[in-house]
Structure 1
Amino acid sequence: MRSVVLGFALGLGLLASETAHQAHPGHAQHQEVRVDGNYQDYFRVDADFVLTLLLLLASGFMALMVVFNALARKPCFRLASLGSFGAFMIILLFDMGCEDRSGARMVEQPVQPQHDAKELQTLYGNFKKDGVTVRADEQFLYIASNAFPSHPMMVGITAWQQQVPLPQPYSGENSWRIPLQPALSARPISARKALFRGAIALAVNGVPIFNALNNRREDAFLAGELDEFGGHCGRGDDYHYHVSPTHLEKIVGKGKPIAFALDGFPIYGFTDGEGKEPADLDEFNGRFEKDGSYRYYSTRKYPYINGGMRGVVRVSNDQIEPQPRDSPARPPGQPLRGAKVTGFSRDDANNAYTLKYDLQGKPHFVKYTITAEGVCVFVFSDGEGRESTETYRRQAGRNGPPPKKK
C-alpha cells in the first residue's frame, strides 16, 4: 500500500512541475532536472537518466511505473527547473523508501565476519570437565551441556524460592546452537521490553544466560536473587546466569569471549582489546570494532550482558527459538522470605548434593540425590532437627509428578 501512495505522491510532484511550465510548449532544449530550494548551488541531471534510474529503483511497484509511463508519453513532459514542491516529493520518496512497513529504518547493515568453528570449539572445549561437548556444521555450532558448572552455586542468594540446581539434559536434539554467520537485524529486540522467557545467550561453560530482568521485569541482581557468580535456579531447578560470567576469563584468557548471544555475536568481559572499559556502547551493550565486527561487552551496571538481540533471531511467545528445554523433577517452589543460602556441597561421583541456608537465625538444609533412572530423592530439614523426604521421578515438561513422601 505504501508503494502506491508513494507512487502517486511522486506523480503529483512531477505533475505540479509540469503544469508550471505548460506556457512554454515545444522547447527543443535538452531536458534536465534542477533542484533549487535554499541551496546556493544546484545540480543538473539528464531527465531521461533520472526517469530510468527511478524506474529501476521502483521496479516491482506497479503504481510508480504507471505514473512514469503516463508522463513519458506526454509530448510536453519536462522536468526543467523542478519546483520546490516537486523536489520535496522526490526527496520524500527516497527518504520514505528507506523504511519498511513497520516504520523501522531500513539501513543497510554491514556484513559480519563468519566465526571460525574451530576457535569456538576450543573456547567451549575448556569445559569438558563440566560436561560440555561441541560439534559444528556449516551453519551452527552445537553445544551439549548439563548446565552444572564446577563453581559453587546458589551461595549468597537472599531472595530464594526453594529451587536447587539439577543437571539438565541439554544434549542431542536438545542441544544449544550458535550461528556461525551472525547477521545484524534491521529491527533489533530490546531486552527491556521483550525476551523475558528463556535464554538469550550461552556462556562458554555451557550455562545459559537469561535476561538481566526477571519475569517480573525487575533487576534480578539488585533483587538479591543471584549467587556470587551471577546465577540462580529457575522454576525447573535449572541453573542459569542473569549477569555476565566474567569469572570465566580466568579460564579462557583475557580478551577472549566468555559467552555468545543466541544471535551469534560474542560477549566479552569488562574491557576491550586495549584494556579499557568501553564508554561508547549502544543500548544493546555492544559496539562495532575497527574491523567492522560487532560484539557485546559486560558492564558492572544494567544491562550487565547483551541488552537484547542486535542480530537476527526468531522469537515465539517472547522466547528465542529454537532453544533447549529443561527437565524439571518437581513442581516449582515458592519464595521463602528471610532465607539466605549459605553453602552448596557436591559429591558428583554419587550424584549427591547439599544446599544449606539460614532462616530466622537457624540453619537448614536440602539434601538430594539423583539415580541413574532419574529418581530424585529430596531430604528437607526444618531447623528443629526434624526431616522430611520427597521422591520424584524426573520427566520432561514444566512440572514434575506429585511427590512420594516418606
Structure 2
Amino acid sequence: MFLKPASAFAATSSTAALPGFAAFASSVKVIRSGRYYLVESSGLPSHNMMVGIKSWQQQVPTIKDYTGTNAWSIPTTPVISKAPLSAKNHFFRGAIALAVNGVPIFNALNNRGDDAYLAGELDDWGGHCGKADDYHYHVAPLHLQSIVGRTAPIAYALDGFPIYGSTEPDGAKVVGLDEFNGHFDKKKKYHYHGTSSYPYINGGFKGVVSEVDGQVSPQPSAGAYGPAGEPLRGATITGFQKVGDNHYDLAYTLNGGTYHVNYTATLDRMTVAFIDPQGNVRNEVYQRKAR
C-alpha cells in the first residue's frame, strides 16, 4: 500500500554519513540500519525533466514511495568482489546506482541492450521514465557535481562504492579507469566516476552484489499505475512543467502538431487528460497497482 503523503518526503534528513546527500536534505533522507544505509526519496528531482526526448515510450514522471521497507539500500561496508559482474550482460532491469538527489540510475544499456543515450531516449538531464512511470537516469548526472562540489560523490553504486564526477575529489584529471568506470585511489580505496562516454556510470559492479531476476537485490518497487506505454514514433518532447501539487503538463510534437499530456499523480492514482492539437480531450484514470 502507498500510505505516505508527498509531505513525508520533506522530513529532516540525516545525511552526514554519506557525503553528497546533504545537498538534498530537504527531499532525501538517509538512515543507517544494520548493514545498509536506507535512502528515502520521492524519486523526482528538483531539475526539469523529459525535454529533449526523441524516442518516447509514452510514460511520464510520477511520485514514488521509496520509503520505509521500500527505501533504497546502500551497503555500509562495500566489499570488492572476487567475481565482478559487467553491466554489458547483467542488470538490464532495475537500478544499478542511486544519485544523491534520490533519483535511481539504471544501466546505460536499456532492456533491449541498446545505449539509451545514443537511441535518443533520454532528456537533457540524462533521464526518462520506465514502464511504472518511474523517472530515472541512464547516464551519470554530471550536472549534480556543480551542486555537491567535486569533493563529494554525485551518486552511489548499489554495491556501496561512491561515484564521483568528471574529476577526482582533489580536482585532478581522472585517469586509469577500469571496465567498470572505476579505480583505486592513493589510499587503495575504490570508487567509480561518471563520464560523458560509455559506460557513463558504473559499468557493472566491482563490489559484491546479489543479482535476482536480472536486477540488484534488494531494490525498491516503483508500483505501476496501468499498462505500459508503447513507443510513439516521430514524437519529440518539447516542454514539461509543474503546474500544481503533483500536477504536470508535458508537451510533444508529432507530424507538425503539438500535443499535451496534462496529469495529476499521487501515490494512489493518476488522472490524465490527453489533448490533441485541435483541443480535443480524452480523459483516463489509473489506480496504482499494489507492490
- Structure 1 length normalisation: TM-score? 0.66
Aligned residues: 278
Q: Does 1:364 align with 2:221?
A: no
State whether residues 163 and 233 of structure 1, in contact with CA within 8 Å, keep that contact through their aligned partners in structure 2.
yes
Shift of 1:256: 1.2
CA 1:394–1:118: 2 relative to 1, 3 Å = closer
Partner of 1:126, secondary structure, is: helix
* Amino acid in structure 1 at the alignment position of 2:264: T
Comparing 388-397 with 285-294, greater Cα deviation is found at: 388-397
Which structure has the highest helix share of the two?
1
CA 1:159–1:234: 2 relative to 1, 3 Å = same
Shift of 1:243: 0.3
State whether residues 143 and 176 of structure 1, in contact with CA within 8 Å, keep that contact through their aligned partners in structure 2.
yes
Q: Does 1:124 align with 2:21?
A: yes
Residue-by-residue CA offset, 1:292-333 (whole Å, 9 max, x unaligned): 000001111100000001000111111110100001111110
RMSD: 1.5
Shift of 1:273: 3.4
Q: Does 1:338 align with 2:272?
A: no
State whether residues 103 and 137 of structure 2, in contact with CA within 8 Å, keep that contact through their aligned partners in structure 1.
yes
Shift of 1:133: 1.2
Cα distance in 2 for partners of 1:141, 1:367 equals 36
State whether residues 150 and 170 of structure 2, in contact with CA within 8 Å, keep that contact through their aligned partners in structure 1.
no
Structure 2 partner of 1:313: 209
Q: Does 1:287 align with 2:216?
A: no
Q: How does 1:1-400 map to 2 (within 5 A)?
A: 119-121=16-18, 123-129=20-26, 131-348=27-244, 350-370=245-265, 374-397=268-291
Which structure has the highest strand share of the two?
2
State whether residues 150 and 169 of structure 2, in contact with CA within 8 Å, keep that contact through their aligned partners in structure 1.
no
Shift of 1:144: 0.6
State whether residues 143 and 206 of structure 1, in contact with CA within 8 Å, keep that contact through their aligned partners in structure 2.
yes
Partner of 2:31, secondary structure, is: strand
Shift of 1:147: 0.5
User: Percent identity at matched positions?
Assistant: 51
Cα distance in 1 for partners of 2:162, 2:290 equals 30
Cα distance in 2 for partners of 1:303, 1:335 equals 24
Higher relative contact order (CA 8 A, sep 6+): 2
Cα distance in 1 for partners of 2:284, 2:33 equals 43
State whether residues 255 and 269 of structure 1, in contact with CA within 8 Å, keep that contact through their aligned partners in structure 2.
no
Gaps of 5+ in 1: 1-116, 398-406
Residue-by-residue CA offset, 1:1-60 (whole Å, 9 max, x unaligned): xxxxxxxxxxxxxxxxxxxxxxxxxxxxxxxxxxxxxxxxxxxxxxxxxxxxxxxxxxxx
Shift of 1:347: 3.3
Structure 1 partner of 2:9: none
Shift of 1:392: 1.3
Partner of 1:251, secondary structure, is: helix
Cα distance in 2 for partners of 1:371, 1:217 equals 32
Shift of 1:121: 4.5
Partner of 2:145, secondary structure, is: helix
Q: Which runs of 4+ in 1 moved over 6 A?
A: none
CA 1:216–1:371: 2 relative to 1, 3 Å = closer
